[in-house]
């Protein structure tokens, strides 16, 4: 016999899930008792930050990641971050403590009265094992489900007395010793047909999305674009949490606009659109128009059956993106189509006081190391980051695909923990930083050598831009006067610096990036949306 706790930790150890993100309560202490020395517990001071850090860690490591929350209120605090994790397809195994089984029916304090229903509809699977001895098997099932395509968060509620229960060693060895591989290639017939459609098209175009990066398909996407002379667009920014193609590559044209009409217009000169590793499409805001021009056909490759089913136009192949592109490459010849012209170089931003957000990002671009990673949540500077950094290595960009603020700062801590050799820069608006402000404490407590660039424009600029677009006047709550992020971050122990102009910003960022300790650099920027 062995204990539920030992069998569960053995399983986690074998899966490489030894970094655990959590915020504990009394119902979680039996799980955490005598915490094994080869595990790391990363404390987040609020559950949105716990899940955000785990989301960044899971995406940047490519591995399922364990989260431990405090029964119903802990899960409640985390829900916005779980929404983001679902949109990011982050394989999170979220566990929460539950009252002792003997006290659940009389509903003792802290009983999560409907634990399984609570995280719906944001998780792939939600469960409370019927017996204590089922916990290790349920944990294994949760982990496999989180990691199978499409990846995403799952939830497991564990009554606090379960951890000490005994389980049969042989049975648990079978249940937790399995490996499950879910990378499935596409139907060969469908891939041949796609190769023929590409060869027969007169002006095809490639659209790349986040799952190109997540599946490790960069090289295959570049090879396909070069062999077929394809211009390449990134899928629209709001739903695109990762970059799937080198943005400095001569075939790269830019990011598709996210609204129906402008997106259709951008692709109107093409007779065939091949979308790889993205949904079709994450549209926003509502600017109507034809989905596609007459004469334009579309085909998508996605590992997500729901993405394939819900698309409003085009055909789809449901399969692993990398395997499918590699298979497709075996069937496409070198095309005689001329290579597309590269996108225009970005212009130097005009000088101004305060700096424009474009000028702030230009200063970052000057000192941004080629192997660095950016985690971005600065809404009015999103396009400036995408046009000025020209990120060109896999795993270099993480953005909250769901749009819920709080992802950026917390995910950046997790990304840096998963990628300790690569410098990570979090670019965050001073408004966005507030949704995960406690992440500064975790960065300092675990000595995570993250650089945070805070753009301070004293307002919710993006919402003022939306107000113009939506013809809304007089909306309250869009200004942020006197919000001092440096002082708040300093209260969490974060070293902070303020830059006065572009030269100082460049210097401070350069120093922070090489310092190998957590540092915040704040700069005042002019309000308003940066278009490049």
Ligand X SMILES: Cc1ncc(C[n+]2csc(CCOP(=O)(O)OP(=O)(O)O)c2C)c(N)n1
Q: Which two tokens stand for residue 384?
A: 């400036």
Is residue 461 near ligand X by the rule CB under 6 A? yes
- Of 149 and 404, which has the nearer Cβ to ligand X? 404
Is residue 77 near ligand X by the rule CB under 6 A? no
- Of 235 and 380, which has the nearer Cβ to ligand X? 380
Q: Are strands 397-399 and 373-377 parallel, antiparallel or unpaired?
A: parallel
Total interface residues for ligand X by CB under 6 A: 19
Stretch that binds ligand X, among 194-202, 414-422, 457-465, 516-524 (CB under 6 A): 457-465
- Of 190 and 259, which has the nearer Cβ to ligand X? 259
- Of 228 and 432, which has the nearer Cβ to ligand X? 432
Question: What is the rounded distance in angstroms from the CA atom of residue 179 to the CA atom of residue 122?
Answer: 25
Stretch that binds ligand X, among 277-285, 378-386, 436-444, 445-453 (CB under 6 A): 378-386
- Of 155 and 460, which has the nearer Cβ to ligand X? 460
Q: How far is the CB of 187 from ligand X (least distance, A)?
A: 39
Stretch that binds ligand X, among 96-104, 279-287, 314-322, 461-469 (CB under 6 A): 461-469
Q: Hey, which residues between 396 and 455 contact ligand X (CB under 6 A)?
A: 403-406, 429-432, 435
Question: What is the rounded distance in angstroms from the CA atom of residue 187 to the CA atom of residue 197?
Answer: 15
Question: What is the rounded distance in angstroms from the CA atom of residue 401 to the CA atom of residue 86?
Answer: 9
Query: Do residues 33 and 82 lie in contact, with contact meaning Cβ atoms separated by under 8 Å?
Result: no
Q: Quick one: CA torsion of 67, 68, 70, 76, rounded to 10 degrees? A: 10
In DSSP terms, 451 is beta-bridged to: 425, 519
Q: Is 330 exposed, middle or buried (0-12, 13-18, 19+ CB in 10 A)?
A: exposed
Find the binder of ligand X among 240, 379, 510, 518 (CB under 6 A): 379
Using Cβ positions, the residue closest to ligand X within the complex turns out to be: 429
Find the binder of ligand X among 378, 389, 391, 502 (CB under 6 A): 378
Q: How far is the CB of 459 from ligand X (least distance, A)?
A: 6
- Of 244 and 404, which has the nearer Cβ to ligand X? 404
- Of 98 and 461, which has the nearer Cβ to ligand X? 461
- Of 167 and 428, which has the nearer Cβ to ligand X? 428
- Of 437 and 499, which has the nearer Cβ to ligand X? 437
Find the binder of ligand X among 65, 112, 380, 438 (CB under 6 A): 380
Q: In angstroms, what is the C-alpha Rg of the chain?
A: 24
Q: How far is the CB of 493 from ligand X (least distance, A)?
A: 22
Q: How far is the CB of 49 from ligand X (least distance, A)?
A: 13
Tell me the helix, strand and coil percentages in the chain, rounded to 5. Answer: 40, 15, 45
Q: How far is the CB of 16 from ligand X (least distance, A)?
A: 31
User: Phi/psi zone of residue 102: left (φ > 0), alpha (ψ -120 to 50 degrees), beta?
Assistant: alpha
- Of 296 and 432, which has the nearer Cβ to ligand X? 432
Q: How far is the CB of 403 from ligand X (least distance, A)?
A: 5
Question: How far is residue 280 from each of residues 277, 307, 493, measured CA to CA in Å?
Answer: 10, 7, 43
Find the binder of ligand X among 45, 463, 467, 490 (CB under 6 A): 463
Q: Edge to edge, what strands does the sheet with 252-255 contain?
A: 252-255, 232-234, 204-208, 272-276, 297-302, 315-318
Q: How far is the CB of 227 from ligand X (least distance, A)?
A: 39
Is residue 257 near ligand X by the rule CB under 6 A? no
**DSSP E strands: which ranges in 70-203?**
92-98, 126-127, 154-159, 166-167
**DSSP E strands: which ranges in 179-281?**
204-208, 232-234, 252-255, 272-276
Find the binder of ligand X among 462, 489, 505, 513 (CB under 6 A): 462
Helices and strands (H, E) in the chain, number of each type: 21, 20
Find the binder of ligand X among 57, 440, 460, 492 (CB under 6 A): 460
Binding residues for ligand X, rule: CB under 6 A, are 80, 378-380, 403-406, 429-432, 435, 457, 459-463
């Amino acid at each position: 016999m062995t204990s539920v706790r030992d069998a569960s930790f053995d399983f986690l150890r074998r899966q490489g899930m030894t970094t655990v993100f959590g915020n504990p309560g009394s119902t979680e202490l039996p799980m955490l008792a005598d915490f094994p020395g080869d595990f790391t517990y990363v404390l987040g001071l609020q559950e949105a930050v716990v899940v955000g850090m785990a989301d960044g860690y899971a995406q940047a490591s490519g591995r399922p990641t364990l989260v431990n929350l405090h029964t119903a209120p802990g899960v409640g605090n985390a829900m916005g971050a779980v929404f983001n994790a679902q949109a990011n397809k982050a394989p999170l195994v979220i566990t929460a403590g539950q009252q002792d089984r003997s006290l659940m029916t009389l509903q003792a304090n802290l009983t999560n009265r409907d634990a399984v229903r609570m995280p719906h509809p944001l998780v792939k699977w939600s469960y409370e094992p019927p017996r204590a001895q089922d916990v290790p098997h349920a944990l294994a099932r949760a982990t496999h489900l989180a990691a199978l395509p499409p990846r995403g968060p799952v939830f497991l509620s564990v009554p606090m007395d379960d951890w000490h229960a005994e389980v049969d060693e042989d049975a648990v060895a079978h249940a937790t010793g399995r490996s499950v591989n879910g990378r499935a290639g596409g139907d060969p017939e469908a891939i041949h047909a796609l190769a023929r459609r590409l060869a027969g098209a007169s002006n095809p175009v490639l659209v790349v999305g986040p799952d190109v990066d997540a599946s490790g398909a960069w090289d295959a996407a570049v090879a396909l674009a070069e062999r077929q002379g394809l211009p390449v667009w990134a899928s629209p920014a709001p739903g695109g949490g990762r970059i799937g193609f080198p943005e400095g590559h001569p075939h790269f044209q830019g990011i598709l606009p996210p609204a129906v009409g402008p997106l259709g217009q951008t692709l109107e000169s093409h007779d065939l659109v091949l979308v790889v590793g993205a949904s079709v499409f994450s549209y926003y805001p509502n600017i109507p128009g034809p989905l596609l021009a007459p004469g334009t056909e579309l085909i998508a490759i996605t590992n997500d059956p729901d993405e394939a089913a819900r698309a409003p136009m085009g055909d789809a192949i449901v399969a692993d993106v990398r395997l499918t592109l590699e298979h497709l490459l075996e069937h496409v010849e070198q095309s005689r189509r001329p290579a597309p012209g590269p996108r225009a170089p970005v212009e130097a931003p005009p000088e101004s006081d305060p700096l424009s957000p474009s000028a702030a990002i230009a200063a970052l671009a000057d000192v941004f190391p080629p192997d660095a990673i950016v985690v971005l949540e600065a809404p009015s500077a999103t396009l400036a980051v995408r046009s000025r950094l020209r990120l060109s290595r896999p795993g270099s960009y993480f953005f909250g695909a769901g749009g819920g603020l709080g992802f950026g700062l917390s995910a950046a801590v997790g990304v840096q923990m998963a990628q300790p050799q690569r410098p990570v820069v979090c670019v965050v608006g001073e408004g966005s930083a507030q949704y995960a402000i406690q992440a500064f404490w975790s960065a300092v407590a675990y000595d995570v050598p993250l650089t945070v660039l805070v753009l301070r424009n004293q307002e919710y600029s993006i919402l003022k831009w939306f107000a113009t677009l939506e013809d809304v006047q007089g909306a309250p709550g869009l200004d942020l006067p006197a919000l001092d992020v440096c002082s708040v971050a300093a209260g969490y122990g974060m070293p902070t610096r303020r830059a006065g102009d572009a030269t100082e910003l460049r210097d401070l960022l350069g120093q922070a990036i090489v310092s190998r300790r957590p540092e915040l650099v704040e700069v005042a920027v002019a309000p308003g949306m940066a278009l490049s």
